[in-house]
C-alpha cells in the first residue's frame, strides 16, 4: 500500500502561507511571502533532496496544484523538476478543470484517497496544500509528516492544522540547521495524550 508523506514549511507560530515568493499566495491580504530562502541552507536543501530523490506521486490541493503547474513545467535541466513533472498529480478539489499539467488526475474529495493508497504506485507526497490537512488528520491518512520550522514569527496567515482533530504525534527523526531551521519527522500516534499536572501535596 502506498504511504502518504506530508511536508510543510512553517513559521514558529504555524503559518504556512506563501513560503516561496512574495506573490505566491496573497489571499487575505497576506504580504509576507518569500520567507523560506533566507534560511534555506545545506541542511534544509539536503533533506529536501532526500525527500525528492525517492519515487513519488503528488497529492495536492487546488491552489498548490495551480502554483506548481505554472512553475515546474517551465524549469529545465533540473532533476527535481523532471521528477515533479513526470509524477502523477492527484489534485483534490470540488472545482472543475482545467487540469492541463501532464499526468494529472482529479479527485473530487478526500474520501477517494484510501482507494488511491491501495492502488499500485509510489508513495504520495504532499507539498503545501494546507486545506487538506484537517481532513487527512481526522481520517488518519497521513503516514509520515515532516515539519520544517523556520526561526520566524509571522503573526498572521494560513495555518495547516486549524480545525484539525486533536492527535498525538511521535517524533521519529529530527535535524537542526545552522540557520536555525528545525526539521521534525513525525508519525501520527493516535488520540491526544492528556495528563493533569499533579496537585501540590
Task: Give the pLDDT confidence of 95-137 residue by residue, as tens digits.
Answer: 988 899 999 999 999 999 999 999 999 999 999 899 999 999 9
Residue-by-residue DSSP string for 128-197: S-GGGHHHHHHTT--SEEEEEEES---SSS-BSSTTPPP--EEEEEEEE-TTS-EEEEEEE-SSPP--PP
CATH for 4-25+35-187 is 3.40.430.10
Q: How confident is the model at residue 200 (pLDDT cuts 50, 70, 90)?
A: confident
Q: What is the pLDDT of residues 49-101, one digit of tens each?
A: 999 999 999 999 999 999 999 999 999 999 889 999 999 999 999 998 889 99
* Domain segments of the chain as ranges: 4-25+35-187
Q: Please give the share of the chain, as a percent, with pLDDT higher than 70.
A: 100
Separation of alpha carbons 135 and 96, rounded Å: 20
Considering only CA atoms, which of 25, 61, 8 is closest in space to residue 156? 25
- Contact criterion met (CB below 8 Å) for 59 and 126: yes
Would you say residue 180 has pLDDT above 80? Answer: yes
- Overall pTM surpassing 0.75 (yes/no): yes
Q: Which residues contact 61 (CB under 8 A, 6 or more apart)?
A: 91, 92, 93, 128, 129, 130, 131, 132
Q: Which residues contact 122 (CB under 8 A, 6 or more apart)?
A: 2, 54, 55, 56, 57, 87
SS3 14: coil
Angle between the 79-86 and 42-53 helix axes, to the nearest 10 degrees? 40
**Could you give phi then psi for residue 22, rounded to 5 degrees?**
-60, -35
Amino acid at each position: 500500500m502506498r504511504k502518504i508523506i506530508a511536508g510543510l514549511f512553517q513559521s514558529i507560530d504555524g503559518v504556512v502561507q506563501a513560503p516561496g515568493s512574495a506573490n505566491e499566495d496573497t489571499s487575505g491580504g497576506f504580504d509576507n511571502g518569500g520567507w523560506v530562502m533566507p534560511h534555506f541552507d545545506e541542511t534544509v536543501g539536503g533533506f529536501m533532496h532526500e525527500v525528492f530523490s525517492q519515487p513519488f506521486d503528488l497529492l495536492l490541493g487546488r491552489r498548490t496544484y495551480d502554483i506548481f503547474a505554472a512553475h515546474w513545467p517551465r524549469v529545465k535541466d533540473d532533476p527535481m523538476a523532471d521528477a515533479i513533472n513526470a509524477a502523477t498529480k492527484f489534485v483534490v478539489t470540488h472545482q472543475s478543470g482545467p487540469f492541463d499539467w501532464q499526468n494529472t488526475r482529479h479527485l473530487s474529495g478526500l474520501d477517494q484517497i484510501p482507494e488511491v493508497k491501495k492502488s499500485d504506485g509510489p508513495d504520495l507526497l504532499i507539498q503545501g496544500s494546507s486545506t487538506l490537512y484537517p481532513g487527512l488528520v481526522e481520517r488518519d491518512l497521513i503516514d509520515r509528516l515532516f515539519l520544517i520550522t523556520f526561526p520566524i514569527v509571522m503573526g498572521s496567515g494560513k495555518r495547516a492544522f486549524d480545525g484539525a482533530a486533536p492527535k498525538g504525534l511521535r517524533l521519529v527523526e529530527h535535524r537542526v540547521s545552522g540557520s536555525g531551521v528545525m526539521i521534525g519527522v513525525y508519525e501520527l500516534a493516535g488520540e491526544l495524550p492528556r495528563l493533569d499536572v499533579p496537585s501540590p501535596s
